[in-house]
Amino acid sequence: MRVAITDFFASYVIASQNRGSALHPHSSLQFPDFSTSLFGDPLFCARRILNNVPYDSARLGLVCGSSKGDLNALPLWVDEQRVEWTPDVFVHHLAESLKSSGPSLSPNAACATGAHSLALGAGWIQDGRTDFVFAGAVEFPQPEIILAAYKNMNALSKSGIMRPFDARRDGFVPSSGFGFLLLESEERARKRGAEIHGFLSGTSLKCDATHMTSMHASGEFIARAIEDALQKAGNPKIDYINAHGTATQNDLVEARAIERVFGNRVPVSSTKPLTGHLLGASGAVEAVICLLAMRENFAPPTLNLEDVDTELNLDFVPQIGRKMEINATLSLNYGFGGHIGALVFERN
């Protein structure tokens, strides 16, 4: 059973570049102006949306993950005995704000957390556990110790420019933000006359246990996740793929997996040069981007992709977006520990 998406919101900030944006049903994928940094308030957004939704608080589910929680709040725990650090603290604040007594969960799957949150939330709708689910993820600004760890792993871009799939790629630029979808059954959405922005029709969560930080060179496990998600969705024709694309060596593995399943017929881009690497929130924000891509029939570009790595053989969308008919999209995310998330979204 596919799950209807009846509202969504997202926001991100790349602090090092002093730019950001907010994404919602009335926003545009053109991203013409990065002059202001908008972070917004997910609690406010959630309350605003639910003001127009007839829901039973005991039947409202909340799935909100984070890769690390707000580590900057750790001193409050030590100095003031305020428990504001734990990774699940945000889902508590969300439940408190919405007065929800339904099930709540804060998954952690590193940079695949957002994808896992959406897949788990869709499962709650499918098995009838809840009537509505707010599903997504939030990523807080990272403290210096985490940034230093990424730097020591050579994961951070030395140039400060993300170039996924480019021969000169040298790592990612971290950012912070959040993304959430309101999920419900198609039957319920149509019965109450809700605007349906798309459907989450297929999900797959897998693990590549090859190495803590590197995927199997063949892309085999990513390919399995893609095939599983497609099968669950009824094997729709995918028109656009939003790749994880972190501008690291794993770009090659991801490209091999995509080529293994699709050949080079499907347009592919990574939107992380636009948003920065949102870590645990990546999958949630990129799900919103997939919804906007379908609505606008516009494949967003991979900024800074100027010299495609010769080992990669895909139909990349570099620099400038592509106007095209998009009825189904695939969103891919991976995280340290081998976590894999594949999500299929459809317009109808």
Q: Determine the residue type at 133.
A: V
Beta bridge partners of 298: 323
Is 93 among the catalytic positions?
A: no
Provide the Cα torsion 301, 302, 306, 312; round to 10°: -110
Whole-angstrom distance, CA of residue 341 vs CA of residue 113: 8
Is 244 among the catalytic positions?
A: yes
Which position among 64, 277, 290, 339 bears the catalytic label? 277
Is 207 among the catalytic positions?
A: no
Which position among 45, 244, 290, 339 bears the catalytic label? 244
116-142 burial, b at 16+ Cβ within 10 Å, e below that, comes to bbbbbbbbbbeeeebbbbbbbbbbbbb
Which position among 111, 116, 197, 339 bears the catalytic label? 111
Q: Which residues are catalytic, by number?
A: 111, 244, 277
